[in-house]
Amino acid sequence: MATSAADPTARFFDELGSRGHEPLLRKATGTARLEIVDGRRTRRWFVSVNKGDVSVSRSSDGSPTCVIRVEKPLFDKIAAGKENAVAAVLRGDLAIAGDWRFLVWLQRLFPGPRTRKRTTAAGWARRRT
């Protein structure tokens, strides 16, 4: 798959497809169909997990465990670690059909939020110095 450096979604799926085995998903099995809506265009990606073995494709032979439908700008943020997919479901920004628990497993594949390094102590520790 060709990756555009400016496209976080394509970059995420390319990187995910090259991972192979993901130890965090060793107990998960299923397939998610991600429908990423970009204006009038909808792109479908299939992410399959079999006891930690992850594969990504643009088509699938069987029926998915869950179907996730999301607007591309939001998925770009999820793929970049700036947004949480489960929180987006709770807000109603991301639609899911089927077994939503599989999305909870998939959340482990997305990068986490970038945290700032603290330069000063907080609260009680600051008062002690």
Q: Is the pLDDT of residue 28 over 50?
A: yes
Q: What is the pLDDT of residue 61?
A: 81
Q: What is the pLDDT of residue 111?
A: 86
Q: Give which of 113, 103, 125 is closest to 81, Cα–Cα.
A: 113
Would you say the pTM of this structure is higher than 0.75? yes
Residue type, 70: V
Q: Is the pLDDT of residue 97 over 90?
A: yes
Q: Give which of 2, 102, 19 is closest to 53, Cα–Cα.
A: 19
How many C-beta neighbours within 10 Å does residue 125 have?
9
Domains of the chain: 8-112 (3.30.1050.10)
Q: Report the pLDDT averaged over residues 105-109.
A: 91
Q: What is the pLDDT of residue 1?
A: 47
- pLDDT grade, residue 114 (50/70/90)? low
* Cα four-point dihedral sign 61, 13, 76, 73: negative
Q: Report the pLDDT averaged over residues 3-15.
A: 82
Average pLDDT over the chain, rounded to an integer? 86
| The two structure tokens encoding residue 57 | 């494709």
